[in-house]
Structure 1
Amino acid sequence: MGESWRARVRASATGPFGHIEYPLRHTLDFPGDPGACGPGSASWSVISDVAAFVGGIRALLIQSAHPEVVAGVADHSRYRVDPLGRLSRTSAYVTATTFGAGPEVESAVEAVRRAHARVEGTSHRGRPYSAGDPGLSAWVHNVLTDSFLAAHQAFGAVALTPADADRFVREQARIGRMLGAEPVPEEADSLSRWVSDHADLAPSPGMRAAVDFLADPPLDRLQKVGYRLLYLGAVSTIPARIRDLLGIRRRRGGRPAGALAVKLLRSVLGFSPTWSLALIRTGCPVPEGVLRQPLPVDLPPGWKV
């Protein structure tokens, strides 16, 4: 694959997530700070891998199955005029809370709290909702954690042991509690059951709009090809009950399609440059061969990879 083609693929893959300012642009101001997770954590391993792209798509699909959650998005977000903004904001939040230094984690959580304080209303089924409600926050947080884990187990570069999977869930549970989410399961199997068996899920107009958007977002031609493969891979990991509720079918070739897309992206992108930046901040060596993109910020004098 020529370098110009690699550059096109790189830009197409990362472009949909770059609609807001990079959240860790000042992270080197906090040398040695491990943040909420830190080097050697399961979270750094899972979310640094490109399989996390699949996890993000999966999470947004499953989250839309909750009528009150999706009503909050439909009534209060700008996704109709800025359709990729929510994807970028979700990505920025995960980036900051997973790889950020302590003050950056706190700032990201506080920003979400402030935004949620204004999100209130009534869903189509007549139930009041507030984005600050611990149960609704738990749905959003737990689905995100479960989705990153499911995507990694299906498509990740390095297999997780059951103990590693539980460790990832515990690490993410700490972040969820910072946001005020409750309950937040601390074991992978308990989390999976909590999501797949959740009692408050139901079809809604907002769900249909969200699913339609996620099936065919406004991307350019090259982005659409790669995204479609990732989307099919994401659908292949969703529990049957929730797929039926969402009205989407698992395609026979969905899992191989997702695996192909992840393998191609990993060959081009390597692993998250934000992971490399966090390793540099904490004084840890960056493993050889993982950094295939420019670092998100310029290194000041005296810093080196």
Structure 2
Amino acid sequence: MSGGPTARSAWRRRVTEAAVGLFSHAPDPLADTFSHPGDLGLFGPDSVTWQVMSDCSTFVGGVRSLLVQAAHPEVAAGVGDHSSYRDDPLGRLSRTASYVTATSYGSVPEVDAAIAFVRRMHGPVAGTSHRGLAYSAADPEMAAWVHNALVDSFLVAHRTYGPVALSDEAADAYVAEQVRLGRRMGAAPLPDTAGGLADWLAGHPSLGLSPAGEEAIAFLAGPPLSSPVQVAYRIIHDAAVATVPPPILAAIGLRPRRGAITRGRMLIRGLRAALGASPAWAAALERCGEDRPDGVRFRNQPGTTR
């Protein structure tokens, strides 16, 4: 970005307001986090999870996870029949982001509260898909599809668009860490390596297009957003599609656009410069009595979570 400090500050402020506005339609998931001093949560300061989830590449990972989830007809039916994403897309986005933030960076009580909330919301989710198969959010395999799609997507997005290269060993450690959360969610099976996770998703026998999946994919291609945000979102969407493995792309009828990864990297680099690292990471470090890392910019002040 060209211009002096004042122009740069104004640009950061505009970008931050636009980005934060998308996720401000739900209560702060870490509002009480400082009431649990010393609580490491599920993962802790030395985890790969805290590293992966701190970066703006999670924007791509979130969209990618929804695309992958749409490739499972029964999961897509559950979302289509019971979700509010059409009528309240920003509310659903904020609630999903709150769950991810709480389970990644929250104290154990905050993690458990987030999981309990999701279980209550998913309690009524049951029915029959277009191909006549029963679905239920309580089914461990369906829970595994949703959980594993999230984990794989955040990992792949970070390895493609993140600020530093993530080694194979670190990628495996991240997936193994996330098994702890998957078990708490009642999901199974839960692959514990990056390769095993990717293979499980891409080779799943339930892959296929469905009416509910098509509707979700169409919505994800053009959700109701303001014009400036829509331009950035389109790049994020295409960047997400470009990282989905071919078997899943074939199942949902999408093709990657030429140059999508390059454009995605440029946008995420700009968002990183504007937004800095996750405020939730800073708050979690403070709760644990750890210093903020050198060379990392956070936009929130000590004692705050956003």
TM-score by length of 1: 0.95
In the alignment, structure 1 residue 52 sits paired with structure 2 residue 58: yes
Report the alpha carbon displacement of residue 42 of structure 1 after superposing the two structures with TM: 0.3
In 2, the alpha carbon distance for the partners of 1:249 and 1:97 equals 32
CA distance in 2, matches of 1:137, 1:296: 36
Which consecutive residues of structure 1, in runs of 5 or more, have no partner in the other structure?
Answer: 300-305
Distance 1:297 1:204 in 2: 47
- 1:237 is matched with 243
For 2:194, the aligned partner's letter is A
SS of the residue corresponding to residue 135 of structure 2 reads strand
Which portions of structure 1, spanning 4 or more consecutive aligned residues, are displaced by more than 3 angstroms? 295-299
Please, which moves more after superposition, 134-143 or 232-241?
A: 232-241
Kindly indicate whether residue 173 of structure 2 is the aligned counterpart of residue 173 of structure 1: no
Give the Cα–Cα distance (whole angstroms) in 1 for the partners of residues 24 and 132 of structure 2: 36
Q: Distance in 2 between matches of 1:214 and 1:24?
A: 28
Distance 1:187-1:75 versus aligned 2 partners, 3 A rule: same
The match for 2:262 is 256
Aligned to 2:92: 86
Q: 1:283 maps to which residue? A: 289
Q: Is contact 1:268–1:292 with CA below 8 Å preserved after alignment?
A: no
The CA deviation string for residues 146-203 of structure 1, in whole angstroms up to 9 with x for no partner, is: 0001001101112111111011001111100100000000001000000111111111
- Pairing of 1:1-305 with structure 2 (within 5 A): 1=1, 2=7, 3-295=9-301, 298=304
1:239-270 Cα shifts (integer Å, max 9, x gaps)? 11111221221111101011011100000011
Rounded Cα–Cα distance in structure 1 between residues aligned with 2:183 and 2:302: 28
Letter in structure 2 aligned against 1:10: T
Identity across the alignment (%): 50
Alpha carbons 1:169, 1:188 under 8 Å: kept: yes
How far apart are the structure 1 equivalents of 2:84 and 2:200? Answer: 30
Q: Is the 8 A contact 1:55 1:149 kept in 2?
A: yes
| Cα distance in 2, alignment partners of residues 178 and 231 from structure 1 | 30
Structure 1 residue 287, shift from structure 2 partner: 1.9
Instruction: Supply the distance in 2 between the matched residues of 1:279 and 1:152 (Cα, whole angstroms).
Output: 21
What is the rounded CA distance, in whole Å, between the counterparts of 1:8 and 1:260 in structure 2?
Answer: 18
- C-alpha distance in structure 2 between counterparts of 1:288 and 1:225, whole Å: 33
Distance in 2, matches of 1:228 and 1:66, equals 23
Aligned residue for 1:233, secondary structure, equals helix
C-alpha separation in 2, matches of 1:101 and 1:179: 16
Root-mean-square deviation (Å): 1.4
Distance in 2, Cα, partners of 1:197 & 1:84:
32
SS at 1:84 equivalent: helix
**Deviation string for 1:79-123 (max 9, x for gaps)?**
121022222222111100110001101111111112221111111
Aligned pair count reads: 299
Contact 2:209 2:253 in 1 (8 A): no
TM-score, normalisation: structure 2: 0.94
Give structure 2 stretches of 5+ with no counterpart.
2-6
Q: CA deviation at 1:289?
A: 4.4
Whole-angstrom CA distance in 2 between matches of 1:296 and 1:184: 36
Structure 1 residues 163-172 or 283-292, which shifts more?
283-292
| CA distance in structure 2 between the partners assigned to 1:31 and 1:176 by the alignment | 25
CA distance 1:175–1:286, shift in 2 (3 Å): same
CA distances 1:189-238 after superposition (whole Å, capped 9, x unpaired): 00000011111111111111111111111111111111111111111100
Distance 1:152 1:226 in 2: 18
